[in-house]
Chain A
């Protein structure tokens, strides 16, 4: 049994129009003991270098969590409290890296503002954190999906919390789910409105099922990425969202 995963981002039509870069970033690593660590970040539209911020946030998480996992001989399922400690430390390393980047380049930290979702998944448990919006959905059984966090939004749709905010640590959500996770999907808020029903925050199964089926039937998704790329760039999707979109999918199986 192995983890198979793919991550792809696509620039939003509104960003294209204004010749803005894709401000989303996502990446994952597969560590020892069948553990996968994934992260997605969405750079703030108002921040000048948030594309750099999002990429640096994700890379910093993966680097540090990867090293930490290596230092653990055998990782038993994290308790909520351990997860909170690990992710608080992760967030701290991210903010330190962003501060360093801002100082070196001579701009304010806020210009790197981004949201962040990180998960550590073993075959029989998943631990995760979220600052800001976007979503993380996990399925413990076939075609059954759970939203791990409600996105942190302000009262208004165009407001959220970024990792660069003084309240980021306080507003960081953390959870641990025991049990086998057949499917994990992390995404930025560009896909939120098409994938999550907003009045009760339930994942829309018919959005996730085909993605899960694709992952099950594809032996090396990173090489066979046409399905995901076509989906992210489809007119059908762009008619519904003009924002950047990132999707990180993983399944654990044969």
Chain B
């Protein structure tokens, strides 16, 4: 018949952004920060097991105590886990604001480049309470507004010593903070990678992505 085959247009891969918002204040020094660093490596290798996810899941790391962008958004195939040090205080409100702004600007980049994306996640891990002068209440309001407008999903994980009462005021009602079992960051990051793999492969209509069961922590009331 002599008819050729349809050729395919090259569109950029869809992206699935996640901001890891990590408390690296002085109290995380020693075993906690070590376990957290190992967890990041576990996250990287677990997502990489899934080729499509490693091209779609984009991670950014914001550490606080003081707030700094340790890793700007990068797809997991190019992500090199950092070695975080712990020192300083807990500017949690500033860090949350920073993460929200970072996400907004990332979305703008996606829009300009015609990249389609999944609902972003912000994943906060802390073992403390915000500094007294930290604008965490204002940041919490921004989180709540974004959540109710379904702009993002916000998760908070407390490590031993965390001020869960404050975290409860930041997180949306339907997703209360989790308390990590000991320093089991490894299981938590395996769960996160599994969740990201599910989200990043979901198609239209799969709005309610069923997340894997949480075996690494518990909801505290």
Q: Name A residues whose Cβ lies closer than 8 Å to a Cβ of B.
A: 14, 42-47, 50, 113, 115, 132-133, 153, 155-160, 162, 189, 193-200, 204, 206-211, 213-214, 217-218, 227, 231, 234, 236-237, 240, 242-243
21 A–B pairs (Cβ distance < 8 Å), ordered by A: A14-B203, A46-B206, A46-B207, A156-B118, A157-B14, A157-B117, A157-B118, A158-B119, A158-B209, A194-B6, A195-B6, A198-B11, A199-B11, A199-B113, A204-B7, A206-B6, A207-B7, A210-B3, A210-B4, A213-B4, A234-B5
Of residues 5 through 59 on chain B, the ones whose CB sits less than 8 Å from some CB of chain A are: 5-9, 11-12, 14
User: What's the nearest-Cβ distance from chain B to residue A199, in Å?
Assistant: 3
In the bound complex, do residue A158 and residue B203 qualify as a contact, i.e. CB atoms below 8 Å apart? yes
Query: What's the Cα separation between A44 and B207 when bound, in Å?
Result: 9
User: What's the nearest-Cβ distance from chain A to residue B202, in Å?
Assistant: 5
In the bound complex, do residue B4 and residue A158 qualify as a contact, i.e. CB atoms below 8 Å apart? no
> What residues of B have a CB within 8 angstroms of the CB of A159 in the complex?
204, 207
Task: Given contact pairs A133-B204, A196-B9, A210-B6, enumerate 13 new A-B contacts (beta carbons under 8 Å).
Answer: A46-B208, A158-B203, A160-B204, A189-B204, A194-B9, A204-B8, A207-B6, A209-B6, A210-B3, A214-B1, A231-B5, A242-B201, A243-B203
> What residues of A have a CB within 8 angstroms of the CB of B12 in the complex?
198
Minimum CB distance partner of B120 in chain A: A156
> What residues of B have a CB within 8 angstroms of the CB of A211 in the complex?
6
Query: What's the Cα separation between A206 and B113 when bound, in Å?
Result: 22
In the bound complex, do residue A227 and residue B1 qualify as a contact, i.e. CB atoms below 8 Å apart? yes
Query: What's the Cα separation between A115 and B6 when bound, in Å?
Result: 25
> What residues of A have a CB within 8 angstroms of the CB of B205 in the complex?
43-47, 50, 113, 158, 160, 162
In the bound complex, do residue B7 and residue A206 qualify as a contact, i.e. CB atoms below 8 Å apart? yes
Per-position 1/0 for B192-221, Cβ under 8 A of A: 000000000111111111000000000000
Q: B186 an interface residue at 8 Å Cβ cutoff?
A: no
Q: B142 an interface residue at 8 Å Cβ cutoff?
A: no
In the bound complex, do residue B3 and residue A214 qualify as a contact, i.e. CB atoms below 8 Å apart? yes
Q: B168 an interface residue at 8 Å Cβ cutoff?
A: no
Total contacting residues, chain B, CB less than 8 A: 29
Most-contacted residue by chain A among B3, B12, B116, B117 (CB, 10 A): B3
Task: Name the one of A14, A44, A47, A199 contacting B114, with C-beta atoms under 8 angstroms.
Answer: A199
Minimum CB distance partner of B107 in chain A: A155
Ranked nearest first, the 5 interchain pairs of A and B with the lowest CB-CB distance are A199-B114, A44-B205, A204-B9, A194-B8, A157-B116
Most-contacted residue by chain B among A113, A115, A155, A156 (CB, 10 A): A156
In the bound complex, do residue B11 and residue A193 qualify as a contact, i.e. CB atoms below 8 Å apart? yes
Query: What's the Cα separation between A153 and B203 when bound, in Å?
Result: 12
Per-position 1/0 for B167-208, Cβ under 8 A of A: 000000000000000000000000000000000011111111
In the bound complex, do residue A198 and residue B206 qualify as a contact, i.e. CB atoms below 8 Å apart? no
User: What's the nearest-Cβ distance from chain A to residue B220, in Å?
Assistant: 30
Minimum CB distance partner of A196 in chain B: B9
> What residues of A have a CB within 8 angstroms of the CB of B207 in the complex?
46, 158-159
User: What's the nearest-Cβ distance from chain A to residue B30, in Å?
Assistant: 40
> What residues of A have a CB within 8 angstroms of the CB of B117 in the complex?
156-157
Minimum CB distance partner of B204 in chain A: A160
Query: What's the Cα separation between A237 and B8 when bound, in Å?
Result: 9
In the bound complex, do residue B9 and residue A197 qualify as a contact, i.e. CB atoms below 8 Å apart? yes
In the bound complex, do residue A42 and residue B204 qualify as a contact, i.e. CB atoms below 8 Å apart? yes
Task: Name the one of B1, B14, B115, B204 contacting A217, with C-beta atoms under 8 angstroms.
Answer: B1
> What residues of B have a CB within 8 angstroms of the CB of A198 in the complex?
11-12, 114-116
In the bound complex, do residue B6 and residue A158 qualify as a contact, i.e. CB atoms below 8 Å apart? no
Minimum CB distance partner of A50 in chain B: B205
In the bound complex, do residue A208 and residue B6 qualify as a contact, i.e. CB atoms below 8 Å apart? yes
> What residues of B have a CB within 8 angstroms of the CB of A206 in the complex?
6-7
Query: What's the Cα separation between A200 and B113 when bound, in Å?
Result: 9
> What residues of B have a CB within 8 angstroms of the CB of A234 in the complex?
5
Minimum CB distance partner of B201 in chain A: A14
Most-contacted residue by chain B among A46, A160, A211, A213 (CB, 10 A): A46
> What residues of A have a CB within 8 angstroms of the CB of B11 in the complex?
193-194, 196-199
Query: What's the Cα separation between A198 and B207 when bound, in Å?
Result: 21
Minimum CB distance partner of A218 in chain B: B1
Most-contacted residue by chain A among B8, B119, B206 (CB, 10 A): B8
Query: What's the Cα separation between A132 and B202 when bound, in Å?
Result: 16
Query: What's the Cα separation between A207 and B7 when bound, in Å?
Result: 5
> What residues of A have a CB within 8 angstroms of the CB of B5 in the complex?
210, 231, 234, 236
